[in-house]
Structure 1
Amino acid sequence: MKLKHVSLSIMMMGASTLVMASGYHFGTQSVSAQSTANSSAAEAADASTIFYNAAGMTKLEGTNFSGALNLVAPSVEYSNASATYPTAALSPFNSVVKGDSSGKITKDLIAVPQMYLTRQLNDKVYVGLGVYVPFASETEYQRNSVLRYNLNATSLKTIDINPTVAFKLNEQHSVAVGVIAQHAEATLRQYANFGFLAAKAAGKAGAALLASNGTADGYANVEGDDWGYGYNLAWLWDVNDSTRVGLNYRSKIDHNLKGSAKWTRATDALIGGGDVALSGGAGAIKSLFPDDENASLKITTPESLSLHAMHKLDRKVTLFGDVTWTKHSRFGTAELKYGTNKAALGQSDTTYLTPAWKNTYKVALGGAYQYSEPLQLRAGIAFDKSPVPDDAHRLATMPDNDRTWYSIGAKYDLSKYQSVDVAYSYIHIKDAIANVNGTCTFQGQTVCVSSQTKGTASYKSSAQILGVQYNHRF
C-alpha cells in the first residue's frame, strides 16, 4: 500500500490549497490584496503589508490592526478514473480496480482567518506581528474510489507566526526583517490491497492470487505535526511622489513531520479462520502493518522572491503590478519512513515521492479607483504558473495546473481611523489529467510501501473566494 508517500508530503507543503494558488500556497493573506489579485504589495495600505512587504510598515503611523476572513468555495471534480493492479507478470492482462470513477474531492466551504498588528516605536523603527494561514487544504475521495490505493483523503492546517521589524532609512528607502515560525498539522487516509498481500504471504499463486485483489482492503489513518522556522526580508523605495517599488523575500522552511500511522486491517478476520494458509498470511500482515507505528517525513517548503510596483496616475487612479518567483523545485524528492520494516512482503520501510516540480512565476496586475471620499473600487487579474512538469508527475491529491485569477473588491472608510475591505475572486484552473504510478521506483529500485496500482483520472477545478477585512488605526 502506498500509504502516505504522496499525502503527507503534499499536505505539509501546502499541498493543496490546490485550488487557490499553484504549488503549495494558499494564494491570499489579505483581503485588500485579494481585491487586486495580489498585485498591490507595494501599496502598504494596512497592517497586512507584513506578509506582502513588511518594509511597508513604515507607511503606517501609530498602531494598526487588520483582521481578515476568507470564505473559500473550492471545486475539484474527477472523472473517467481507472486503475489496475500490478498483476501483468501473472496474467496476460492486469486486474481492474473496481469502484467509483468520478466525484468531487473538496468540501463546499472553508473559512480561513488572518490577523496583523503593527506599532510605530519612533520615527525610524516600526514593529509588527502577523498570524496567517499560508497553506490549508482538504481533499477526500470516496472510500471505494478506484484511486483509493494511491491516496483517499488528506487534510492540512498550517499557521505562521511572523514577528517583524522595519527601519525607515530615509524619506525614500525602508527595509524590514522578520522571523517566521510555522506550525503544520496533517492527516491522511490511504487504502491497502491486503487481500493480495495476505494471499502472497500464504503461498497462493496463479488465479487464486489474482482473485485476492480487492477482497480484503485495509487502510491507514496517518497524522503528524511539526514546527519549522524561516525568515522574511523586504525593501521599499519611494522613487517619487507617484511611484513606489519594492522587493520581498520569504525563505525556505525545513520540516521534519513526525507522527503515527494507525492501521485497520480487513485481513484480521482471516486469522483463525478455515483457510489456514491464508490466515498465516494475515498474521504476517498484522505484524508488519501494526495497529500503531511511527512515521516521519522530511520536506522543504520553497523560498520566493517578489518584485512589485505602484504608480499613481492621478488623485483617483492607482495602478499595481507584481511578479513573484517561487523555487518549487525544492519539492523534487520527498522521503517517508515507517517505524516497521516491511521487507518480508517485498516492500520496505521507506517510500519515495519524486514529483520533480519546476520553479515557477506569477504575474499580477491591478488597479484602484477612488470613486468618492470614502469609497475606493479595486480589481486585478493574475496568471499563476503550475510547477507540475507533466501528467505523469501530477499528484492525485493535487491535480494542479496553470490558473488565472479574476478579482474585484472595494475599500470603504468608516471613519478617519476605521475601514473595511471586501473582495471576490474567481480562480479558473486549466483542466488536468493525472497518471498515477504506484510502483514508486527510485534510483532503479522499487522501494516503497505501496499496493503498486496504476491509475489515471481527468480533473476539472476552480475556486471562488469571498473576503472581508476590518482595519483600525489607534
Structure 2
Amino acid sequence: MKKVMLKTTLSLAVTLASTQIFASGFAINEQSISGMGTGFAGRSSVADDASTIFGNPAGMSRIKREQATGGVAMLDAHTDISDARSRPNKGTNDGDMVPFIAVPMGYYVKPIDDHWAFGIGMYAPFGLVTDYEKGFAGRYFGSKSDVKVMTLQPTVSYAFNDKISIGFGPTINRIDGTLESNLSITPRANDGKVKIKGDDTALGYNIGVLAQVTDSTRVGLTYHSRVKYKLEGDTKVNYSVLAAAGLNPSQKYDASLKLQTPESVDLSVTHELDDQWTIYAGSTWTRWSRLENITVENKGVQPLLNGQFGSITEEQNWHDTWAHAIGASYKLNKQWVLRTGLSFDQAPTNNVDRSPRIPTGDRTIFSLGAGWSPTDDLTIDVAYSYLKEEAVKVNNHNNRGQSYNAKYENWANGFGVGATYRF
C-alpha cells in the first residue's frame, strides 16, 4: 500500500512536552526525593542513597550497606492563558490542562566487596499528561496527551581505590503514548477527532565517574545516552465530512513515529564545610537539538479531500539547553537533616514553533526538603518544590485557515515522599 502521512496527526506528535514536568523539554527530574530537596544540585556527586543509580552509578561505591530506596513525586501544575485569539473565533481558554500526577521510583543496591557493587533501578526519565477542556480554542493544535517512559536499569560499579570509582548501567526503556487532537478541514466545518496510539521498547545506557578529590570534596560526572524509538500503533480518524464524500467517517490506519530522547551530561560538586553543613552545585547539558522535526507515517491513507491529508513534516527546531543548580543541607542532629536548593532551567522551545502542547519557557525552581532517620536502618525523606516559568507566547496557524495565539504563564508545585531501608 502507498505510504503517506496524515497531516493532522503531526500536531499530536509534538506533544512530548508539558508544563507539569520539573525539567526542560519533556524530561522528568524527579528520580530522587532526597535530591529533590536540594533542587537536584550535586545530583552526580552526592550519592546519599540508592537513587544514585540514576544520578551517578559510580556513587554505589559509597554505599557500604545493602539498601533499598523508593518514593513518589506528586506534581500539581497551573496555567494562566491571556490575550487569546483564535480562528474560528470560538472556544474557551481555561488553562487547566495538567491533572495532578504521581511519578514513582525505586532502587536497590548491594555491595559485593570493597571494589564491586550491584544495583537495579526503575524510574521515569520522560513523560507527560495534558488534557485541555473539551471546547478549548486551540484544540486544532493539541487537545490531549498521555505519554509515559519507564526505565529499568541494572547497574554495576567498581571502586579502583577510596578516591576513584566508575559505574555503568544499560537502560531498558518502554514508551507508551496516546495523543489526541481535533480535526477540521475548514474553520467553519464541524469538529472531528484524530487519535494516535503507539509504543516501543529501546535500549540506552547510563555511565558515571566519581572522584573524592579532597577529604571534604567530591566531583561527579554522569552521561545519560540518547535512546532511539520507533513507536508503532494506529491512527484513528472520525470526521463527519468523510460521509459526505461517500466514505466511512471512522478511519483507522497503521501508524509509526520515530523519536529520539536526548543525551545529557551532568557535572556536580559536593563539598562538606563541616560536620553539619554541606553545599552542592551542578550543571546539566541536554542535547535537545536532536528534535528538529516530527513525522508521523500512516499506511494506506489516500490523499482525500483535495489533498488535505497529504504528506507533511512539522518543524520543531529545539535547541540544546543548560540547567544549573545550587543547594545546601544542614545536619541538625543524628536524626534530622534539612535541605534547600535553587535551580535555573532553560526551555528548548523557540518563539516560532511553540504550540499549546509545549507552551513552556525558562524556569526557576525553589526547593525545600528534610530527611528523618528514626533508626540507623531507616531514613524517610520529604521534599517540596515551587516552579515558576517566564511568560511565553504561542502563535500557531495551519493551511486550513485555523489559528491560535495566546500568552501562557505557568507555575507548579511538587511534593515528594520516599524512604531508604538498610538491611
TM tier, smaller: over 0.9
1:466 lines up with 2:415 in the alignment: yes
Which residue does 1:262 correspond to in 2? 236
Kindly state the Cα deviation for residue 349 of structure 1 after the two structures are TM-superposed: 5.1
The partner residue of 2:79 within 76, 80, 85 is 76
Q: AA paired with 1:223?
A: K
- Whether 1:46 aligns to 2:7 is no
Q: Distance in 1 between matches of 2:189 and 2:317?
A: 34
Q: SS of the residue aligned with 1:178?
A: strand
Partner Cα distance (2:79, 2:175) in 1: 23
Instruction: Using the TM superposition, give the Cα deviation of residue 245 of structure 1 relative to its aligned residue in structure 2, in angstroms.
Output: 0.2
Establish whether residue 155 from structure 1 lines up as the match of residue 104 from structure 2.
Answer: no
Task: Name the one with the larger helix percent.
Answer: 1
Where 1:126 maps in the other structure, the secondary structure is: strand
Long gaps (5+) in structure 2: 1-5
TM superposition shift of 1:9: 3.9
Which amino acid counterpart does residue 26 of structure 2 have in structure 1? Y
Superposition misfits of 4+ residues, deviation over 3 angstroms: 347-351
Q: Does 1:6 align with 2:8?
A: no
Structure 1: distance between partners of 2:201 and 2:335 = 42
Mean Cα deviation higher: 312-321 or 23-32: 23-32
Out of 183, 191, 194, which is 1:217 matched to? 191
- Superposition map of 1:281-430 within 5 A: 281=245, 283-284=246-247, 286=248, 290-344=250-304, 345-348=306-309, 350-389=311-350, 391-430=351-390
Give the distance between the partners of 1:467 and 1:420, measured in 2 at CA. Answer: 11
- Which residue of 1 is the match for residue 223 of structure 2? 249
What CA distance in whole angstroms lies between the structure 2 residues aligned with 1:456 and 1:101? 13
- Where does residue 210 of structure 2 map in the other structure? 236
1:12-161 pair list within 5 angstroms: 15-16=17-18, 18-41=20-43, 42-84=45-87, 97-161=88-152
Q: Deviations over 1:246-276 (max 9, x none)?
A: 10000000010111112222236xx4xxxxx
The answer to whether the 8 Å contact 1:236/1:244 transfers is yes
Distance 1:224 1:350 in 2: 20
The aligned residue for residue 207 of structure 1 is: none
Q: Does the 8 Å CA contact 1:48/1:66 hold for their aligned counterparts?
A: yes
How far is 1:124 from its partner? 0.9
Partner Cα distance (2:401, 2:116) in 1: 57
Q: Aligned match of 2:404 in 455, 461, 469?
A: 455
Deviations 1:438-473 (A, max 9, x none): 34xxxxxxxxxxx46232111111111110110011
Q: Which amino acid aligns with 2:134?
A: R
Instruction: State how far apart, in whole Å, the 2-side matches of 1:6 and 1:427 are.
Output: 27
- Tell me if the contact between 2:142 and 2:181 (Cα under 8 Å) persists in the aligned partners: yes
Counterpart-to-counterpart distance in 1, 2:9 and 2:379: 45
Identity of aligned residues (%): 30
Higher mean C-alpha deviation, range 347-356 or range 322-331: 347-356
C-alpha separation in 2, matches of 1:137 and 1:233:
26
Q: What's the TM-score once normalised by structure 2's chain length?
A: 0.94
CA contact (8 A) 1:379 1:408 kept: yes
CA RMSD of aligned residues (A): 1.7
- The Cα of 1:292 is off from its aligned counterpart by 1.4
Alignment partner of 2:391: what SS?
Answer: strand
Any unmatched runs of 5+ in structure 1? 85-96, 197-212, 272-278, 440-450
TM-score by length of 1: 0.84
Query: For the residues of structure 2 that align with 1:70 and 1:417, how far apart are their CA atoms?
Result: 23
Distance apart, 1:144 and its partner CA? 2.4
- Deviation for aligned residue 1:110: 0.9
Change (3 A) 1:233 1:19: closer
Q: Do 1:339 and 1:349's aligned partners in 2 also have CA atoms closer than 8 Å?
A: no
Report how far residue 40 of structure 1 moved.
2.6
Contact between 2:292 and 2:315, CA under 8 Å: does it hold in 1?
yes
Shift of 1:29: 0.8
- Which letter does structure 2 place at the counterpart of 1:306? D
Output one character per residue of 1:145-167: Cα deviation in whole Å (capped at 9) or x when no partner.
22111111111112111111110
Q: Which residue of 2 aligns with 1:431?
A: 391
Q: Would the aligned equivalents of 2:99 and 2:129 in 1 still touch at CA under 8 Å?
A: no
Q: Which residue pairs with 2:3 in the alignment?
A: none
Q: Note the C-alpha offset of 1:172.
A: 0.3
User: Which residue in the other structure is 1:445 paired with?
Assistant: none
The 3 A distance-change label for structure 1 pair 111 and 18 is closer
The answer on whether the counterparts of 1:388 and 1:401 sit within 8 Å (CA) in structure 2 is yes
User: Is contact 1:408–1:424 with CA below 8 Å preserved after alignment?
Assistant: yes
| CA offset digits 1:110-169 (Å, max 9, x no partner) | 111110111111111111111001122111222322211111111111211111111011
Q: Which has the higher strand share?
A: 2
Hey, what does 2:163 align to over in structure 1?
172
Q: Distance in 1 between matches of 2:19 and 2:31?
A: 13
SS class of match (1:134):
strand
| Residues 19 and 427, structure 1, Cα contact 8 Å, conserved in 2 | no
